[in-house]
Amino acid sequence: MQVIEDIADKVEAGRRLTVEDGRRLFQHPNLTELGILANLVRERKHPEPVVTYNVGRNINYTNVCWVKCDFCAFYRPPGSDEGYLLSTEVIFAKIDELVAFGGAEPKSCEILMQGGLNPKLRLDYYEELLSRIRDRYPMVQLHCLSATEIIYIAHLSRLSLAETIGRLRAAGLDSIPGAGAEILSDEVRDVIGFRKDRTDEWLEVHRVAHGLGMATTATMMYGHVESLDQRLEHLRLLRQLQDDTGGFTAFIAWNFQPDATALGADATRWNGAVATGYDHLRTVAVARLFLDNFENFQASWVTQGPKIAQVSLRYGINDFGSTMLEENVVSAAGTSHTNDMNLETMERLIGDAGYEPRRRNTRYQSVATRAEPAALQAAGSA
């Protein structure tokens, strides 16, 4: 590690890396050496040979969205014949499938419920839906609504972020996922989704939620129009907010999926090549080294596939993510590994990598019960 020996010394001593250190790590040609350093940090934070996973389901309650982000193949504009809003009965049926194998331990199953910016939905819709789910399914953690959705709900309802998030929390919202971050650079956002919230607005949602005692996650969608410096600025902003609040439970990175998107159709507007497994491993390793105040890093098997996800366990990743019975947003862009993954496969991949698989909840607390593989297979094929 001669080229980055000074950075390696910092990592081994537990000292914080600078943006320039991060830039040099992204440019370092030896991926294996990055993995060694990232794994050192991972083992320092998680000395047990354990990789966790979560039993959860994605529910995309609506695909109607007026924002029309160029990187998204999932949305349908208002008035489209292909637009939908799931009924409460359909949402309950999806949760029933999850609970059938996830067990009854309180908050042991996760519902990741997100959708588009549907102009017909106001705060009272979300309050009623969340409260009905909370009352009917005490075993479910409601990990729902991106910052972008929350900002829009607040705007439509003419309320502050604090009041909006407080009312959602009172209705049953437990935690907020990190979706909508993409790259936290307004220059990038102007290209890939100029109608979306600004960088400061995304950060403010999470800051306010943390101030109310809610946990959230942080994400990064890379590999489109951003530079390496913009990736690093994204990481710097997340690290700063985590210094201020300590409210992020995990970091998840995935690469842009271009198929069926307006951005992907125009190679002159992005780099024209889907990020490789090599780039993914480099990105998560540098993130693990730079985000020294984040405890948990999730694998991205939905976009990268099971094998790269397995390898990433030696590049700073300590969590395999969710069983994810249902996934619609990434698969709308033509990439889907959900058929390749069930609970047995996930546990085998973790075990073959030399770790003990262990189920956890959204707050990264161990869950005693284990989902039954046969039930999971049945629910996944429903």
What are the residues facing 54 on neighbouring strands? Answer: 322, 360
Task: Output the pTM of the full model.
Answer: 0.91
CA atoms within 13 A on the CB side of 100: 17
How many C-beta atoms lie closer than 10 Å to residue 70's C-beta? 18
- CA torsion 338→344→345→351, rounded to 10°? 140
* Alpha-carbon separation of residue 266 from 77, 159, 231, 269 (angstroms): 21, 38, 22, 6
Q: Tell me, what's the pLDDT at 78?
A: 84
Which of 108, 81, 112 has its CA nearest to residue 94?
112
Q: Tell me, what's the pLDDT at 326?
A: 58
Q: Tell me, what's the pLDDT at 372?
A: 57
Tell me the C-alpha distance between 64 and 142, whole Å: 21
Q: Tell me, what's the pLDDT at 269?
A: 74
Which of 329, 331, 333, 336 has its CA nearest to residue 65?
329
Tell me the C-alpha distance between 103 and 231, whole Å: 39
Q: Tell me, what's the pLDDT at 341?
A: 79
In single-letter form, the type of residue at position 257 comes to: Q
**Order of strands, sheet of 56-60, starting from the edge strand that comes earlier in the sequence:** 56-60, 109-114, 140-144, 175-176, 215-222, 248-255, 296-298, 319-322, 50-54, 356-360
Contacts of 240 (CB under 8 A, 6+ apart): none
The domain segmentation of the chain, as residue ranges, is: 2-6+16-380
Profile the chain (382 residues) by mean pLDDT over runs of 10 residues: 90 98 97 98 98 94 83 80 94 93 88 93 97 97 96 95 98 97 95 89 98 98 94 98 98 87 72 86 98 97 92 98 64 49 90 96 87 48 38
- What's the CATH fold of domain 2-6+16-380? TIM Barrel (3.20.20)
* Alpha-carbon separation of residue 110 from 114, 212, 324, 329, 359 (angstroms): 13, 21, 9, 18, 12
Tell me the C-alpha distance between 113 and 235, whole Å: 25
Q: Tell me, what's the pLDDT at 250?
A: 98
**Which SS3 state, helix, strand or coil, does residue 156 take?**
helix
